[in-house]
């Protein structure tokens, strides 16, 4: 099957919407919470009635973006036809961004590296996990695989109010999170609940504020990915065989669970980062007991792996490292 994943070979955007229509057209007397996942812009960037463009993941990705845009419009027309947009809050979001091994997919440019006294040859560290294509330092691939790949956690997040308060037609450049969705929706419908980790975006949506003014520490971490996923050209056979090593089938519940022997390996492979103002401090595991710190200034692009450099000492790195340790506890191991 090459790079074709089975779900892509059976998925048709229009058929999917027809299945939804039968449920949406039913009469109802209670408020409706409706959540739908349009999964076209996802590896392998294909669907049943289209073919992959060989060795060109970017063009395949752009094709799925165009098709899912049409699918989303059709979904909105379906909701309108069933009078579900008369008094509704619509939230459009992506669960992650994407990196396709393009230059700039990781924010560490070779010419902006600052070496320390212990690195007189100015050798750039290979701090990230091994990738099948031996990618360059400013390239990355996947989603959830790399905390310094900003494209991977640059999510779509948009709100539209129908029949409620009018929200403004504007794009905001601010640091927000998917955690903000719950408090935003609750505040829009007049429910005050402090049991959440995000912040309400209500004032932005209603045009009552121009920025969040959020200068707090913003933590991110990577997902676990087997080595076969660290490529823009994943092969199904390799992915399956690696999965056999990590997961097991519970004969009672028929659920896939992580093998106990793999839990420590999976946890020790996680990367962590703190975004604080114009600074980013990322921690990349080198083994089960040591992590390499990468400090980046997002305004200048300069970066280092040596926290004893003048560049690092003039940054809030000590405060950021302390915040990471407080937030993640024993998951933060020795920093090298």
Which secondary structure element, helix H or strand E, spans residue 308, and what is its range? Answer: none
Domain boundaries, the chain: 6-99+152-205
In CATH terms, 6-99+152-205 corresponds, of 3.40.720.10, 3.40.50.150, 3.30.2130.10, 3.40.50.300, to 3.40.720.10
Give the model's confidence band at 3: pLDDT under 50 very low, under 70 low, under 90 confident, else very high. Answer: very low
How far apart are the C-alpha atoms of 273 and 207, rounded to whole Å?
A: 31
225 class by beta-carbon count within 10 Å (0-12 exposed, 13-18 middle, 19+ buried): buried
**Chain segment 102-129, per-residue pLDDT in tens:** 999 999 999 999 999 999 999 999 898 7
**Chain segment 242-272, per-residue pLDDT in tens:** 777 788 888 888 888 888 877 777 777 899 9
**Chain segment 297-336, per-residue pLDDT in tens:** 999 999 999 999 999 999 999 999 999 999 999 999 999 8
- The residues facing 17 across adjacent strands are none
How far apart are the C-alpha atoms of 135 and 105, rounded to whole Å?
A: 11
Q: Could you give the count of Cα atoms lying within 13 Å of 118 in the half-sphere of its Cβ?
A: 8
- Whether pLDDT at 237 is above 70: yes
- The residues facing 91 across adjacent strands are 159
Backbone angles phi, psi at 321, to 5 degrees: -65, -40
Other Cβ atoms closer than 10 A to 214: 12
Residue whose entry in the numeric block shows the structure tokens 């990577």: 222
pLDDT of residue 251: 87
- Of residues 170 and 333, which shows the higher confidence score? 333
DSSP per-residue string spanning 254-271: --EEE-HHHHHHHHHT--
Kindly report which listed range (38-42, 163-167, 185-189, 284-288) carries the lowest average pLDDT score.
163-167
- Whether pLDDT at 70 is above 60: yes
- Of residues 257 and 183, which shows the higher confidence score? 183
**Chain segment 189-199, per-residue pLDDT in tens:** 888 877 777 88
- The residues facing 280 across adjacent strands are 275, 296
Give the model's confidence band at 2: pLDDT under 50 very low, under 70 low, under 90 confident, else very high. Answer: very low
Percent of the chain with pLDDT over 90: 45
**What average pLDDT does range 38-66 have in this prediction?**
87
pLDDT of residue 225: 72
**What average pLDDT does range 281-296 have in this prediction?**
94
How far apart are the C-alpha atoms of 169 and 266, rounded to whole Å?
A: 43
Which secondary structure element, helix H or strand E, spans residue 59, and what is its range? Answer: helix 57-81
How far apart are the C-alpha atoms of 280 and 41, rounded to whole Å?
A: 28
Is the separation of the CB atoms in 295 and 333 below 8 Å? no
- Model confidence, pTM: 0.85
Give the model's confidence band at 29: pLDDT under 50 very low, under 70 low, under 90 confident, else very high. Answer: confident
280 class by beta-carbon count within 10 Å (0-12 exposed, 13-18 middle, 19+ buried): buried
């Amino acid at each position: 099957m090459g790079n074709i994943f089975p779900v892509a070979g059976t998925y048709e955007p229009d058929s999917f919407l027809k299945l939804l229509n039968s449920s949406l057209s039913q009469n109802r007397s209670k408020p409706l919470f409706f959540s739908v996942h349009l999964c076209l812009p996802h590896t392998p960037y294909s669907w049943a009635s289209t073919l992959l463009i060989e060795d060109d993941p970017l063009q395949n990705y752009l094709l799925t973006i165009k098709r899912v845009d049409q699918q989303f419009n059709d979904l909105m027309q379906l909701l309108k036809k069933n009078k579900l947009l008369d008094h509704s809050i619509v939230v459009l979001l992506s669960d992650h961004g994407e990196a396709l091994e393009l230059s700039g997919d990781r924010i560490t440019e070779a010419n902006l590296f600052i070496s320390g006294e212990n690195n007189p040859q100015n050798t750039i560290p290979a701090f990230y996990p091994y990738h099948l294509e031996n990618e360059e330092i400013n390239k990355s691939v996947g989603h959830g695989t790399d905390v310094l790949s900003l494209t991977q956690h640059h999510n779509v997040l948009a709100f539209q109010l129908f029949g409620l308060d009018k929200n403004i037609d504007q794009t905001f450049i601010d640091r927000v999170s998917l955690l903000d969705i719950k408090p935003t929706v609750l505040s829009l419908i007049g429910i005050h609940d402090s049991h959440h980790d995000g912040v309400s975006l209500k004032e932005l949506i209603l045009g009552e504020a121009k920025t969040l003014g959020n200068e707090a520490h913003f933590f991110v971490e990577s997902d676990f990915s087997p080595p076969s996923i660290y490529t823009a050209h994943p092969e199904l056979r390799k992915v399956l065989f690696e999965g056999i090593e990590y997961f097991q089938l519970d004969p009672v519940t028929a659920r896939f669970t992580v093998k106990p022997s793999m839990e420590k390996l999976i946890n020790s492979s996680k990367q962590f980062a703190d975004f604080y103002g114009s600074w980013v401090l990322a921690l990349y595991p080198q083994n089960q007991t040591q992590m390499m710190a990468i400090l980046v200034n997002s305004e200048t692009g300069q970066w280092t792996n040596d926290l004893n450099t003048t560049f690092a000492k003039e940054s809030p790195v000590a405060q950021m490292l302390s915040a990471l340790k407080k937030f993640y506890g024993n998951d933060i191991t020795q920093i090298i």
